Amino acid sequence: VLCYHRVEDPPRGHDADTNFVTPARFAAHLAALGAAGFSGVTIRDVLAWQRGERTLPPKPIAITFDDAYESVRRHAIPLLDGAQWPCTIYVVTGELGGTNRWDSAAPPATLLDGAALRALADAGHDVGSHTQTHVRVRGLDRATALAELRTSREQLQAVLGAPVTSLAFPYGSHDARALDAVREAGYTGAVTLKRWWNGRGTNPLRLGRIGVGGPLSAAQLRAKLLKARLTPARG
Ligand SMILES: [Zn+2]
């Protein structure tokens, strides 16, 4: 599972910011993955495969985008659709059509609104929750964690008119109590930023992801995949 954020040219001084990948770089990543025989699946597909409900194509890769930036729709979705490569987008439900104001240090960016997310879901992409307020879930008491996760899931389901199955932990932040809250809020899976390869036996509430932003060449992406391939999941 790969984790991207913004797909756009970074502003001056942010060239090495791993929240950015340029459209050209993203196109190169997608071409390299296709040439290496990988094909696209969503997190919903991965979870169904883990439960034995479906098969996956050979060499499956799930591309995910955290925060649901407008630049993803503008620059990445056309390339993905052209390659028939579905993706998973994780939404901060309290900021639909808003901005990334949880991160005052980052260059401001517009986030997708409900209508845009629904169109993406209708086109076959998977849309999941990234909490309501982009909160760090680790260390939250049970009631607070549950309120964030449940409210976010219900809001997103109302927007999409479809079930929401997975969550991406903001900052990858989670603990054992958070996993219980995720389950109790009705999600069947969650993705972290643990850099491991996911198998059928991997805890579905703790799927690993590889961050691939910044000035990462296609060759470096392949090297990262190889390294992750050799990293078994824990817990
Ligand atoms: Zn995020």
C-alpha of residue 92 to centroid of ligand 1, in Å: 8
In the predicted structure, residue 150 carries a pLDDT above the cut 80: yes
Binned at pLDDT 50, 70 and 90, residue 195 comes out as very high
In this structure, the strands spanning 189-191 and 166-168 are parallel
**Mean pLDDT throughout 190-199?**
95
- Predicted local confidence at residue 232, as pLDDT: 78
In whole angstroms, what is the distance from residue 171 CA to residue 121 CA? Answer: 24
CB 88 within 8 A of CB 125: yes
- Predicted local confidence at residue 235, as pLDDT: 66
C-alpha of residue 46 to centroid of ligand 1, in Å: 21
C-alpha of residue 90 to centroid of ligand 1, in Å: 8
pLDDT digits (tens, 9 = 90+) for 62-116: 999 999 999 999 999 999 999 999 999 999 999 999 999 999 889 999 999 999 9
C-alpha of residue 163 to centroid of ligand 1, in Å: 21
C-alpha of residue 231 to centroid of ligand 1, in Å: 24
* Percent above pLDDT 90 for the chain: 89
C-alpha of residue 197 to centroid of ligand 1, in Å: 21
C-alpha of residue 67 to centroid of ligand 1, in Å: 5
pLDDT digits (tens, 9 = 90+) for 6-59: 999 998 888 788 899 999 999 999 999 999 999 999 999 999 999 999 999 999
- Predicted local confidence at residue 22, as pLDDT: 95
C-alpha of residue 59 to centroid of ligand 1, in Å: 27
CB 231 within 8 A of CB 23: no
What's the one-letter identity of residue 219?
A
C-alpha of residue 124 to centroid of ligand 1, in Å: 22
In whole angstroms, what is the distance from residue 116 CA to residue 159 CA? Answer: 10
Is residue 219 classed exposed, middle or buried when 0-12, 13-18 and 19+ CB atoms within 10 A define those classes?
Answer: exposed
Average pLDDT, the chain: 95
CB 53 within 8 A of CB 37: no
Is residue 28 classed exposed, middle or buried when 0-12, 13-18 and 19+ CB atoms within 10 A define those classes?
Answer: middle
* Percent above pLDDT 70 for the chain: 100
